[in-house]
Amino acid sequence: MIQLNLLPHRETARKKKREQYVASVLLAAMVGGGMSILAASWFKAAIHSQNTINAMLDAEILTLDKQIKDIKGLESQISALQARQRTVEDVQSDRNQSVHLLGELSQQLPPGVLLTRVAQTEQQVLISGTAQSNEQVSELLRNLAGASAWFTKPELVESVATVLQLPNKEQRPMFNFSVRALLVRVPVAGVLLPQASAAASGASGIAPVVVREP
């Protein structure tokens, strides 16, 4: 017996394919949505972890900044203490400078030279006196420049020729001179080395004696 299918089988097949397509699309959407949720959760966790690390780094930076400020404060205190120490050392050194100055001048003074005035302004000394000749003035400059451990950079300010009237009516030529020099600051706890003064005065030349007739 022959059976005939009169139902619309083509429409049924198309409906079945449509349902399969919709199901595959829904499945793909669900899978994509799940992956998106997982990716969002991973990124959120990574951002939270990075924010935690950044907060820790900020705290460490603040701690280091505070330590740097403390170190700068200590450096300022150390600099202030060093400045005070230098001031005290300079005062102690300058306290005996006048004695050393006069003692050194008496040793370096050539015969025939008489000092009339010695004035000190900080480390600069102005020496005035009379000499019997210009050679004696030049010898004084050489002594202060090379043989003295307390003076450096001597220079002649002026030398004026004059005449000295003796009691027996004899006249003798004299020279009124002025010499400028720098006084070397001596360490408080030590003795100044002569070679240090020689090195300091090695660059200073002796000015030629200039005679000014009255």
Yes or no: say if 211 and 136 are a contact pair by the CB < 8 Å rule: no
Q: What is the model's pTM?
A: 0.43
Instruction: For residues 49-61, give the mean pLDDT.
Output: 91
| 57 or 187, which is more confident | 57
pLDDT score, position 101: 76
pLDDT score, position 61: 92
pLDDT score, position 119: 85
| 126 or 190, which is more confident | 126
CA distance readout (Å), 158 to 43, 46, 88, 201, 213: 90, 87, 36, 20, 11
| 186 or 58, which is more confident | 58
CA distance readout (Å), 194 to 177, 191, 198: 27, 9, 6
Q: Whole-angstrom distance between the N-terminal and C-terminal Cα of the chain?
A: 167
| pLDDT tens-digit series, residues 83-138 | 888 777 766 656 666 777 777 788 888 888 888 888 888 778 888 988 888 888 88
Tell me the pLDDT band of 47, cut-offs 50, 70 and 90: very high
Q: What is the mean pLDDT of the chain?
A: 76
Q: Which residues contact 192 (CB under 8 A, 6 or more apart)?
A: 149, 150, 184, 186
pLDDT at 190 over 60: no
Question: Mapped to the 3 state alphabet, what secondary structure does the chain carry?
Answer: CCCCCCCCHHHHHHHHHHHHHHHHHHHHHHHHHHHHHHHHHHHHHHHHHHHHHHHHHHHHHHHHHHHHHHHHHHHHHHHHHHHHHHHHHHHHHHHCHHHHHHHHHHHHCCCCEEEEEEEEECCEEEEEEEECCHHHHHHHHHHHHHHCCCEEEEEEEEEEEEEEECCCCCEEEEEEEEEEEEECCCCCCCCCCHHHHHHHHCCCCCCCCCEECC
Measured distance CA(94)–CA(121) in Å, rounded: 12
